[in-house]
Copies of this chain bind each other. A is one copy, B any other.
């Protein structure tokens, strides 16, 4: 599985100004050459998928990566910093997913808003390990790293811009866009958490999911008032 963590920071450290690698990585001894950080993030994700986010231990992550349990402390000040790195990667992947879904409707702001939400939920359900770390306990947004703050702010900005674009075209009402963004976020976040935590179950669950997501997003557009009409 290729994730963002395979492509970030440490690879850049091995490239000089002219783009020529300084010390080519031997695959048999790769962790001594700078990609241990990325490997630790991938191992953490593997543990989360197998046993849940709260079961992650530095010692097991280190063992899976083939280093001693003290080695991760060369790359992360503590366990929380490792989890924050997972969360940052998650926000970047989520924004990419939302933008990809929105790109299918370059000229229809209402569809772009809808698929901003669809993309959000799809990411959460496709990457529950990332999502749990992004919004689970142990993430204190007040003292998060700047990198994490930037990535999470970008995801909110994507939603906010989709709403104001709709207002500019008059396809949604002219209320406070911040309040509307909060309603959208609460809806997709709540739904994602309920599904991930197993509180929403139906028979033929996976085949029913697209219709559930559609109904959810539409209910926010049409509302519950009785004069509802189809598009």
Residues of A within 8 A of B (CB): 52-54, 132, 135-142, 166, 170-176, 179-180, 182-183, 185-191, 193-194, 197-200, 212, 215-216, 219-228
Question: A212 — which chain B residues lie within 8 A by C-beta?
Answer: 179, 182
Interface of A is mostly: helix
From B139, B190, B220, contact of A191 by CB (8 A): B190
CB-CB under 8 A from A191, the residues of chain B are: 182, 186, 190
A53, A142, A197, A225 interface centre (most CB from chain B within 10 Å): A225
Q: What would be 10 A-B contacts, judged by CB atoms less than 8 Å apart?
A: A54-B138, A132-B137, A136-B137, A137-B197, A175-B228, A182-B194, A186-B186, A186-B187, A220-B220, A222-B225
The residues of B that contact A226 with a CB separation of less than 8 Å are 170-174
**Bound CA–CA A106/B66 (angstroms):** 65
